[in-house]
Amino acid sequence: MRAKLNDQTDEAGVLQRLNPVSKLLAITPAMGVLMLVTDPYTPLAFVAFGALVTIVLGRLSPVDYLRVAGPLVALAASFLFVYPFVVGSSAGTSSDVFASLGPLAVRESGLRVGVATGLRILALSILSLLFVLTTETESFLRALVQNLGLPYRIGYSAIAAFRFAPKMRSDVETIRAAHTVRGTPDTDSLRDRLHRMSRYAIPLFVNAIRRAERTALAMDARAFGAYDERTHYRTYSITSADITFVVFFWTLSVGIVLTLWYLEALGTLTILR
Amino acid sequence: MSQIQTHELRFRYRGHREWKPSCVSLDIDTGEFVLLLGPSGSGKSTLARCFNGLIPHSVPGELRGTIKISGRDVTETSQADLAKQVGLVFQNPSLQFVTSTVETEIAFGLENLQVQTSEISKRIANALDTVGLSGLESRQIDTLSGGEKQRLAIACQLAMEPEILVLDEPTANLDPRGTEAIYGLLRKLSRDESRTIVLLEHQCESLIDAVDRTLVLDSDGDLFLDGTPETVFGENPRRLRREGIWIPAATRLALELRSSGAWPGSTSLPVTVDQATDTLKDVLTKQRSREPWCDSQPSDGGSQPENSTSLSDRSVVRPDGATEQEPGDGATKSPALDICGLNARYGTDEKSNPVLKDVELSVPEGSFLALVGPNGAGKSTLAKHCIGVRSLPPETVFIDGRDVTTLPSREVSQKVGYVFQNPEYQFVTDSVWDELAYGLRQLDFDADEIEHRVQQTLERFNLTGYADRNPFTLSHGEKRRLSVATMLVVGQDILIVDEPTYGQDRANADALMETLSELHEVGRTVIVLTHDMRIIAEHADTVAVLVDGEVQFHGTPSDLFEDPETLSAAHLSRPPLAELADGLSGFSGPATLDRCYEHCTGEQTKPPTSDHDATFSSALDYGEER
Amino acid sequence: MSALTKQLTAVRNWETRDLLVVAALGIIPGLALLPAVFAGFTIRAALGPLGTILNSGLFYLPGLMALYIVRKPGASILNGVFVGLVWIPLTPFGLAVTVPTIVARLGSEIPFLLTQYRRYDRSMMLVSGAAAGLLSLGAIYIPSSFQTLALPMQAALIVGHGLSGMILSGLLAKLLADKLAETGVLSAYPIVDDVDMRS
């Protein structure tokens, strides 16, 4: 375990040092393609590619990476077991429905759709991981403001609101304790759970809104939004490293798609069906 | 020249009926250090928000009258210009930050004002240097202590170079050490004659000597006192008490002494400890010359059992008319709560740091324990283990000799009550009446009994008029009263209260403490988690100090006060009168008001009818006129 | 649409308080729903496409709450943006979930736009919730291969999403916000006037 996930210290890899926007830019075309493909090979290729880039350029330990990615694989696999039973034939006649609901009537077409959908979701997730595991939320938001023209009032509101998250977690814990002390039954039936959820919701939201209002006042007191533009103490610019990475990633993405097309492994795109 | 000038200023929040503040006219000059006092709900914070233009620019409501900052009308000045002129520091340090690191946070305000990057770096360095946080530039804000966070908040304002610095209860959420650091900083800042400082507080014992001027709002939001601390406190103590406003300990002591004739009538009432010590030395010298045997007697109240000294003379008349006294010796009783070798960690992660290390603590039935320690020392964690809301290994926590892990949570909640810091967390229904009935319904009481008990509790806690109100719409003091009431209606033997005086004004805090003392006197076990030295000195009979998850001290308050090392490890300061007591020859033991009084009057017990501030505020709470 | 876009681009018309409340209403449920985002995929895997009905309604709830409380055009969309800003950096499905979320928010604004943001009552909330549900279904239809499903299944999906949006987001948002208003915490917003009128 060399570096902790999401750690941006000295040992950080290339990915951590890149502008968050360029990482997002790099993976977007590949994700667009993945939304549309129907064959199992393209997602597989991108799973391998995405995982490799993330581990090598992000200097993550493969063990840590697998710990995060493992559950995603399991999730994708479960599609394989469900879709065959619910997918209708391409003809879509009603008689096929009954047959497909029966547990034994697994259709070849259903299996294919299940595999493709599962792999597609997996590939999308793996590409997202490249970004997720190497980016701090706050830098992402700052970069969005500075490089992609997100209005700074929205960006900084989001940064401020992110600070509420850990407090909300401790709120939930405290409210649970407080209600236990009141003698609220700690049973686990669905009804009790729903009831408890509704009881928790009010104090949680009340606190969230109060926090939001107080923080907003504190921000106004410091001239937030006084001018249309603001200066930036910490700047995020697109460097040559960013351009190199984006070009590298795009080239390889196109390369993968073209190779698969050449090998005739690329199926029809959903939109064309 | 006058820097803040208001004329008949009044403000009404949207959706509210009352004007608070109502009709405030004042004039604050450049370089003044102003202390603004007032009970909760008097409109102090509202006034502060007017000073920097949040009102009317950001807060919906109706503003009447005028307010001018450096001669310019606030309503006609932009928020940006005002932000440059007036810095406002808020009560809760963590709700005023936007970013996650120290330097980006200071930069935030400057970026809004479009200050250039090179200038920002300079200002960050200067501001951090001023508040003593240099070297922490890239620290995550969440890893700072409360005191450091609040100093950072001040640095954020200083970096914007305001002429006026307004601080809205900056120490309310801090432990005594954090408070002292802020006060030290304010003392330093006040030396700069070009900077005006307005400090809003419920009390500021150790900073009072630096204050130039004191303004006091009453509960209706009127400015009713304005002058130097000496004139405000020295000449109007009764009016201040009627409003439930804090009075410096030195003034309180002198007041008591004056009413018994021990304080020379010609000398004005002191405000600072130094002023009091000078006069008291004379008083004592004169007295000793009259009663020479006093010198030979150890004067720590040794004629009485140590722990009950402060309790015995506080025989309190309960609302039902019974007078009860409970001696403080609980050594012979079986422990109400017994903790044996408790270890705990944050979360379930094996690698996380331990929060509690092998805690051993035995709380005898009927005792009043103050559990103290720095923020984050594990006080709340320990307390939460006692109510069975955290899973714990068997055979570690016993209530009345029974292992908590073997008791169903329902039974634990019948034995132990827990009053949370934020009362809202405990509300489970939509009305005050239902809130009180809730616990009883859980225990299957019949309807008549519930009706009877709820009615009784409503009366006892002065909440009858609020029976149909939504608990969330009560004031903070009322919410806390309700949350204590919900715990008592069931009648638990052990009551744990998290920071009873936290974020409350003097009157509310005293009323709550009085309730706890009454409970203690009828034999309930009371455990308070606190930083408040007054509670330790005047209410507790036992203190446990928790530092870094370990019990460092477990004994009587007087032993704790003799142990400066433990005090400092617990981030506690000495009680306000301790410094004064140092100046009195022959004084030892806890420096409570009563004991100082007894010392100065030659061991004469303070008459119960005297203007004792605790009984006074209890009278205030129950609506009696004295 | 012009009124909407004008309001959205002129962020200056929004008080910081509005922004922060909408952000808090986005980020906090956004984080609270993180498990649901993961679970959503699991449920979808376990129950098949019908699983999306159950949890999707809850996804637009914060947006409708924000719109109902703040009552400014675009509040729901902006809330979706904040939710997305949580999900993109924090979940592996970030973009995949955010796009339908924002599309749903667009849907929820349509009924209000048609009434020029003047009415905020129960029927508006129900219609708006349904519109959100249907539009978001549209956004995930093709990527989830729903068009390959049997027809009755597709019909069930459409009806289910509409109802789920109506009840789980439209109605629930109104109930929650009204409850919140009773606590007095929303006194700075027009919603209090409604509550006062009823009591």
pLDDT for A104 beyond 60: no
Q: Which of A27, A214, A236, A262 is nearest to A148 (CA)?
A: A236
Average pLDDT over residues A228-242: 91
Decide if B564 is inside a domain.
Answer: no
Q: How far apart are CA B388 and CA B312, in angstroms?
A: 34
Q: Are B514 and B381 part of one and the same domain?
A: yes
Closest-CA residue of C relative to B98 is: C20
Q: Do B439 and A214 touch (CB under 8 A)?
A: no
In which residue are the tokens 């410091």 written? A222
Name the E strands within B474-560.
494-498, 525-529, 542-547, 550-555
Which residue among A125, A202, A215 sits closest to C183, beta carbon to beta carbon? A202
- Residue where a domain terminates, one of B555, B588, B607: B555
Name the residue range of residue A192's domain. 150-220
pLDDT for A91 beyond 50: no
- Which pLDDT does position B104 carry in this prediction? 95
Residues of chain C contacting A6 with CB distance shorter than 8 Å: none
B150, two tokens: 């609040």
Q: Which of B97, B100, B118, B101 is nearest to B109 (CA)?
A: B97
Q: Do B424 and A221 touch (CB under 8 A)?
A: no
Q: Are A89 and A186 part of one and the same domain?
A: no
pLDDT for C117 beyond 60: yes
User: Residue C75, by phi and psi: left (phi above 0), alpha (psi -120 to 50) or beta?
Assistant: alpha
CATH number of the CATH domain containing B483: 3.40.50.300
Q: Are A121 and A245 part of one and the same domain?
A: yes
Q: Are B111 and B231 part of one and the same domain?
A: yes
DSSP H helices in chain A: 14-17, 20-36, 41-57, 62-86, 95-101, 108-132, 137-148, 152-162, 164-181, 190-220, 240-262
Decide if A253 is inside a domain.
Answer: yes
Q: Are B223 and B260 part of one and the same domain?
A: no
Q: Are A168 and A63 part of one and the same domain?
A: no
Decide if B401 is inside a domain.
Answer: yes
Which residue among B13, B16, B470 sits closest to C183, beta carbon to beta carbon? B470
Q: How many domains does chain A have?
A: 2
Decide if B560 is inside a domain.
Answer: no
pLDDT for A105 beyond 80: no
What are the tens digits of pLDDT across the range A149-182? 889 999 999 999 888 888 887 888 888 888 888 8
The pLDDT > 70 percentage for chain A reads: 80
Q: Do B425 and A174 touch (CB under 8 A)?
A: yes
Q: Are B140 and B46 part of one and the same domain?
A: yes
Q: Are B376 and B472 part of one and the same domain?
A: yes
- Which pLDDT does position B625 carry in this prediction? 31
Q: Are A205 and A245 part of one and the same domain?
A: no
In the stretch 107-126 of chain B, residues with CB closer than 8 A to chain A read 107-117, 120-121
Decide if A200 is inside a domain.
Answer: yes
Instruction: Give the amino acid at A100.
Output: S
Q: Are A201 and A72 part of one and the same domain?
A: no
Q: Count B/C contacts: CB-CB distance under 8 Å.
A: 25
Decide if C88 is inside a domain.
Answer: yes
Q: How many domains does chain B have?
A: 3
B229, two tokens: 């601390």
Decide if B561 is inside a domain.
Answer: no
Residues of chain B contacting A217 with CB distance shorter than 8 Å: 49, 54, 58-59, 90
Decide if B562 is inside a domain.
Answer: no
Q: Are A171 and A264 part of one and the same domain?
A: no
Q: Are B437 and B503 part of one and the same domain?
A: yes
Name the residue range of residue C136's domain. 2-187
Q: Do A208 and C92 touch (CB under 8 A)?
A: no
- Which pLDDT does position B309 carry in this prediction? 37
Q: How far apart are CA B17 and CA B8, in angstroms?
A: 18
Q: Are B515 and B595 part of one and the same domain?
A: no
Decide if A211 is inside a domain.
Answer: yes
pLDDT for A88 beyond 60: no
Q: Are A32 and A100 part of one and the same domain?
A: yes
Decide if B569 is inside a domain.
Answer: no
Residues of chain B contacting C16 with CB distance shorter than 8 Å: 58
Under a CB-based contact definition with an 8 Å cutoff, are residues A188 and A176 in contact?
A: no
Q: How far apart are CA A69 and CA A54, in angstroms?
A: 11
> Average pLDDT over chain A, rounded to whole?
80
Residues of chain B contacting C188 with CB distance shorter than 8 Å: 13-15, 59-60
Q: Are A112 and A242 part of one and the same domain?
A: yes
Q: Which of B61, B109, B116 is nearest to B87 (CA)?
A: B109
Residues of chain C contacting A228 with CB distance shorter than 8 Å: 12
B606, two tokens: 């303070």
- Which pLDDT does position B474 carry in this prediction? 87
Instruction: Give the amino acid at C161.
Output: H
Residues in chain B, pLDDT under 50? 293-331, 609-626
Q: Are B433 and B551 part of one and the same domain?
A: yes
Decide if A1 is inside a domain.
Answer: no
- Which pLDDT does position B603 carry in this prediction? 66
Under a CB-based contact definition with an 8 Å cutoff, are residues B28 and B15 in contact?
A: no
Decide if B451 is inside a domain.
Answer: yes
Per-residue confidence band for C51, with pLDDT thresholds at 50, 70 and 90: low
Decide if C199 is inside a domain.
Answer: no
Q: How far apart are CA B334 and CA B364, in angstroms?
A: 6
pLDDT for A90 beyond 80: no
Q: Are B369 and B469 part of one and the same domain?
A: yes
Q: Do A161 and C24 touch (CB under 8 A)?
A: yes
Decide if C119 is inside a domain.
Answer: yes
Q: Do B15 and C187 touch (CB under 8 A)?
A: yes
- Which pLDDT does position C49 carry in this prediction? 61
- Which pLDDT does position A109 carry in this prediction? 67
Q: Are A30 and A99 part of one and the same domain?
A: yes
Name the residue range of residue B614's domain. 248-329+577-626
Decide if C187 touches B, using CB distance below 8 A. yes
- Which pLDDT does position A11 carry in this prediction? 58
> CA of B269: how far to CAs of B245, B247, B504, B605, in Å?
17, 11, 27, 22
**pTM of the entire predicted model:** 0.84
Under a CB-based contact definition with an 8 Å cutoff, are residues C12 and C68 in contact?
A: no
**CA pseudo-torsion sign A129, A130, A134, A137:** negative
**Dihedral angle computed from the Cα positions of residues C114, C120, C123 and C126, in that order, rounded to the nearest 10 degrees:** 80
Q: Are B548 and B598 part of one and the same domain?
A: no
- Which pLDDT does position C35 carry in this prediction? 66
Q: Is C196 exposed, middle or buried (0-12, 13-18, 19+ CB in 10 A)?
A: exposed
Q: Are A39 and A112 part of one and the same domain?
A: yes
Q: Do B470 and C187 touch (CB under 8 A)?
A: no
Q: Are A129 and A243 part of one and the same domain?
A: yes
Q: Do C182 and B472 touch (CB under 8 A)?
A: yes
CATH number of the CATH domain containing C119: 1.10.1760
- Which pLDDT does position C42 carry in this prediction? 57
- Which pLDDT does position A217 carry in this prediction? 93
Decide if C172 is inside a domain.
Answer: yes
Q: Are A246 and A205 part of one and the same domain?
A: no
Q: What share of chain B is helix, strand, coil (3-state, %, to 5)?
A: 40, 20, 40
Q: Which of C7, C8, C20, C154 to mutate to test the interface with A (most CBs of A within 10 A)?
A: C20
- Which pLDDT does position B322 carry in this prediction? 40
Q: How many domains does chain C have?
A: 1
Decide if B565 is inside a domain.
Answer: no
Instruction: Give the amino acid at B109.
Output: G
Decide if C184 touches B, using CB distance below 8 A. yes
Under a CB-based contact definition with an 8 Å cutoff, are residues B38 and B245 in contact?
A: yes
Which residue among B13, B430, B470 sits closest to C187, beta carbon to beta carbon? B13
Which residue among C17, C183, C187 sits closest to B58, beta carbon to beta carbon? C17
Q: Is pLDDT larger for residue A221 or for residue A81? A: A221
Which residue among C19, C88, C93 sits closest to A125, beta carbon to beta carbon? C93
- Which pLDDT does position B188 carry in this prediction? 94
Decide if C196 is inside a domain.
Answer: no
Q: Are B66 and B187 part of one and the same domain?
A: yes
Which chains, if any, share at least 3 CB pairs under 8 A with chain C? A, B
B144, two tokens: 């700072």
Q: The complex's ipTM?
A: 0.82
Per-residue confidence band for A84, with pLDDT thresholds at 50, 70 and 90: low
Under a CB-based contact definition with an 8 Å cutoff, are residues A26 and A40 in contact?
A: no
